Amino acid sequence: MVLNRLFRRRSAPDVQLEQGLEKTRRSVFSEITRLFDRSAIDEELYVDLEMLLIQADLGWDVSQQLVAELRARVTRDRLRDPADAREVLRTEMVKLLELATRNRKVKILQRGVPFVIMVAGVNGVGKTTSIAKLAAYHQRFGRSVMLAAGDTFRAAAIDQLAVWGDRINAPVIAHRQGADPGAVVFDAMQAAHNRNVDVLIVDTAGRLHNKANLMFELTKIRKVMQRHVSEAPQEVLLVIDATSGQNGLIQAKEFAKSVEITDIMIAKLDSTSKGGIAFSVAKELGTPISYVGTGEKVTDLAEFRPDTYVDSLFFGVGEGL
């Protein structure tokens, strides 16, 4: 029986996304906004705009594409007012981000079948913190959540998850450091079944002895999950660190080669003035961006929405449209 659908209602206020993007808005995007405060649309506008977009981490290709589209629209529609050009840019940016949300599938939670989320990403990007946020997010919908400490590579990783579990009142299935992550996941799947858990979130290692090992392990974990629930993991969430710039994109591409990623979370958006990473992720991966991390607290998670994202870059909280 269909229990619930994700994304049906917004649980995180848009204000959170706006606050998360404050650094980006105050730096590069305030300059972009100022660029359009001129009397005419001239060549300098395009040149400066492209430079600023690259500076905001939109990436070379995306920045060029946006400027080319803007030029084309200005010519085609015979626009004269820079304010109209800014509106065109805003619309084109929303369209770009929609590349990352149109592939989003409606997720269905079924009673008696745990909805399994496998969280992946290189070390330090914010996986464990994002797991706690995601757990709290599901709890807000009234779902029971269990966590699994599938990162057995470091003892601290297990402890960190246990601390979060305590804080948010979610049971944590863990083995000792060095244990087989497959065994942890096996136990967690069983426990989730026995305790009628709605959502099971599995942490994974961000670093192993080498990359091939890491990818092999993710494949193995997946197989263990499928022994219990054939469609598991129903969500494979790749966490990207917004502060790592275009590097984050390269890492994501590497993961995508070995693991079928269903969703992306951009963590630490609040720590960077280069919130443009979402645009290159949208264009180059096409994998749905579902969440953003906007701080270190468990409530610092926002659902990703293209229009709010773009408006937050141009306007502050309560301003704008």
Ligand X SMILES: Nc1nc2c(ncn2[C@@H]2O[C@H](COP(=O)(O)OP(=O)(O)OP(=O)(O)O)[C@@H](O)[C@H]2O)c(=O)[nH]1
Q: Which residues are annotated as a binding site for GTP?
A: 121-128, 203-207
Tokens of 266: 């951009």
Contact between 158 and 149 under an 8 Å Cβ cutoff? The reply is yes
For 117, 141, 143, 144, 200, the CA distances from 170, given in Å and listed in that order, are 15, 14, 11, 8, 10
Rule CB under 5 A: say whether 201 interacts with Mg ion. no
82 touches, from ligand X, Mg ion, none (C-beta below 5 to 8 Å by class) = none
Q: Is 296 in the site for ligand X (CB under 6 A)?
A: yes
Q: Can you tell me whether residue 171 is helix, strand or coil?
A: coil
**Which residue in 235, 270, 284, 311 binds ligand X (CB under 6 A)?**
270
Q: Rounded to whole angstroms, how far apart are CA atoms 254 and 160?
A: 26
CB 149 within 8 A of CB 162: yes
Give the number of other Cβ atoms within 10 Å of residue 92's Cβ.
18
Size of the site for ligand X (CB under 6 A): 20
The yes or no reply on residue 312 touching Mg ion (CB under 5 A) is no
Sheet holding 199-203, edge to edge: 172-173, 145-149, 199-203, 115-120, 235-241, 263-267, 289-293, 301-303
Binding status of residue 150 toward ligand X by CB under 6 A: no
Of 128 and 280, CB closest to Mg ion: 128
Binds 23, which of Mg ion, ligand X, none (CB < 5 to 8 A, cut-off by type)?
none
Please name the residues in contact with 319: beta carbons below 8 A apart, sequence gap of 6 or more: none
By CB under 6 A, residue 157 contacts ligand X: yes
Q: Tell me: does residue 127 bind ligand X (CB under 6 A).
A: yes
Q: Which stretch binds ligand X (CB under 6 A): 251-259, 272-280, 291-299, 304-312?
A: 291-299
| Residue with Cβ nearer ligand X (57 or 270) | 270
- Indicate whether 303 belongs to the interface with ligand X (CB under 6 A): no
Report which residue type is found at 279. F
Instruction: Specify the residue, 71 or 175, whose C-beta has the smaller distance to ligand X.
Output: 175
- The runs of H, that is alpha helices, within the chain are 14-20, 22-24, 30-35, 43-55, 60-76, 82-98, 127-140, 155-168, 181-194, 211-228, 246-258, 277-285, 306-314
Here the tokens at position 228 are 């219990």
290 touches ligand X (CB under 6 A): no
> What is the smallest separation between the CB atom of 182 and Mg ion, expressed in angstroms?
18
Amino acid of residue 122: V
Query: To the nearest whole angstrom, how small is the minimum distance from the Cβ of residue 129 to ligand X?
Result: 3
Q: Which of 157, 197, 202, 242 binds Mg ion (CB under 5 A)?
A: 157
- x/- mask, ligand X, residues 94-123, rule CB under 6 A, reads ---------------------------x-x
Question: Does residue 86 touch ligand X according to CB under 6 A?
Answer: no
Asked if 206 is part of the footprint of ligand X (rule: CB under 6 A), the reply reads: yes
Q: Which residues lie near ligand X (CB under 6 A)?
A: 121, 123-129, 151, 157, 206, 267-268, 270-271, 293-296, 300
Q: Which residues lie near Mg ion (CB under 5 A)?
A: 127-128, 157
